[in-house]
Amino acid sequence: MSKFRNFKMVDYVVYGRGSFNQLDEILEPKRKAGPMIFLLDHYFKGKTLESRIPLRRNDKVIFADVTYEPKTTYVDSLAQQLKDEFGTVSGVIGIGGGSTMDLAKAVSLMMTNAGSSADYQGWDLVKVPGVYKAGIPTLSGTGAEVSRTTVLTGPTRKLGMNSDFTPFDQIVLDPELTADAPVNQRFYTGMDCYIHCIESLQGTYLNEFSKSYGEKALEHCQYIFLQKDTWDAECDDKLMMASYAGGMSIAYSQVGVAHAVSYGLSYLLGTKHGVGNCIVMNHLDEYYPEGAAEFKRMVEKNGVEIPQGICKGLSDDEFETMINVSIGMKPLWENALGPNWEKVMTREKLRALFEKL
Ligand code: NAD
Ligand code: ZN
């Protein structure tokens, strides 16, 4: 008998241009003894958004350094800093891209769970709920706002704290906040969403739940990145909803080849999630013929550079490391290629793919 996933979702969602202005009111009933901590993407230091944060009492803004994707050591040090300074806090509010939102989720969990965040990398290892947490995206595409994971690079692996305690209690989806994102970054993160859709819709785990969300998200991506000639408010609105729906789609299915290979790049070379997925998708004609061709049209139309030749000159050992990380993502391969995936995606074949990137 098949067992169906019973998944925990975000508790509250507010959507709309200017909905950020409701944050004070939303947080009011969540305030307890300690302060609210606003983890703000360091890009916004000194920008208008910083001055719009509704600080009360001893609330604190911490600038999230997202130069690198989140590490367990960074999560642990942020949580320790808050415990030392305040004992406990009322909540952690992440305002930024996927990296800042993931940091906020992880810091919230580490305010109440003992030890290091590295101890909880995996599935359902988190023991108790964290403190109240809210996510406010300033880039659209990762789906981190709706997911039950927070992707962290730890001492031995890059893996999420995947649990029912991980989803946000509240998300604030205000498309105005994404308006000034640089063209390349917006494209890379937007393509994360597009690739979620392709991998979900072309996967063997597909079901009507995932399909319904995935098709809508895909339609938005196609409209934004192929039909529109200039970026405007409509694009921000639609991409924010595409990110949400794309996240909901993979919540009940799985990602696939681009993500599995991209994780290998990211582990060895530190390649960021969005751009890494694009680098791989550029070479996936064999696995996603239509998706890869459409992706290339999107790249062309939006005038974006996709890095090439990033694996040139790597040693055999380095290729082995990437292959090990990638091939370890079993559910992703099974979703992409079916139960006999190991016969299809051999180590040799994967090496040849890495060599093309
Ligand atoms: P990001 O959060 O890493 O940010 C990329 C860059 O954009 C940073 O320099 C940041 O300062 C800047 N930035 C953010 N908002 C901006 C804005 N409005 N204007 C200008 N600059 C802005 O990028 P991302 O693609 O959103 O997130 C990638 C991260 O998300 C990775 O760490 C990845 O592992 C994670 N992720 C998590 C999930 C999940 O389910 N938890 C899913 C996919 C990806
Ligand atoms: Zn992704």
Domain with CATH 3.40.50.1970 in the chain: 12-178
Ligand 1 centroid to Cα of residue 80, in Å, is 23
Q: How far apart are CA 256 and CA 333, in angstroms?
A: 6
Task: Report d(CA 183, CA 242) in Å as an integer.
Answer: 17
254 within ligand 1 shell (Cβ under 6 A): no
- 12-178 folds as Rossmann fold (3.40.50)
> E-strand spans in 220-262?
none
Among the four given CATH numbers 3.20.20.70, 1.20.810.10, 1.20.1090.10, 1.10.10.10, the one describing domain 183-356: 1.20.1090.10
Binding site membership of 150 for ligand 1 (Cβ less than 6 Å): yes
Residue 248 in contact with ligand 1 by CB distance below 6 A = no
Nearest-CA residue for ligand 1 atom 44 is: 142
Residue 157 has pLDDT above 90, yes or no: no
Nearest to 167 by CA among 102, 253, 117: 102
Average pLDDT, the chain: 97
**Rounded to two decimals, what is the model's pTM?**
0.97
Of 87, 77, 13, the closest CA to residue 39 belongs to 77
- Tens of pLDDT, residue by residue over 74-98, are 999 999 999 999 999 999 999 999 9
Q: Which of 8, 117, 145, 185 to mutate to test the pocket of ligand 1 (most atoms within 8 A of CB)?
A: 185
Q: How far is the CA of 191 from the centre of ligand 2 (A)?
A: 9
CA–centroid distance, residue 105 to ligand 1 (Å): 14
Angle at 42 between CA 128 and CA 246, to 5 degrees: 60
pLDDT in tens, 227-248: 999 999 999 999 999 999 999 9
Q: Which of 3, 111, 90, 73 is nearest to 38 (CA)?
A: 90
Residue 173 pLDDT > 90, yes or no? Answer: yes
Looking at residue 1, what is its pLDDT?
A: 58
Residue ranges of the chain assigned to CATH 1.20.1090.10: 183-356
Going from the Cα of 33 to the center of ligand 1, the distance in angstroms, rounded, reads: 31
Q: 256 in helix, strand or coil?
A: coil
- Buried b / exposed e along 25-45 (16+ C-beta atoms within 10 A): ebbeebeeebbbbbbbbebbe
Per-residue pLDDT reduced to its tens digit, 312-325: 999 999 999 999 99
pLDDT tens digits along 292-305: 999 999 999 999 99
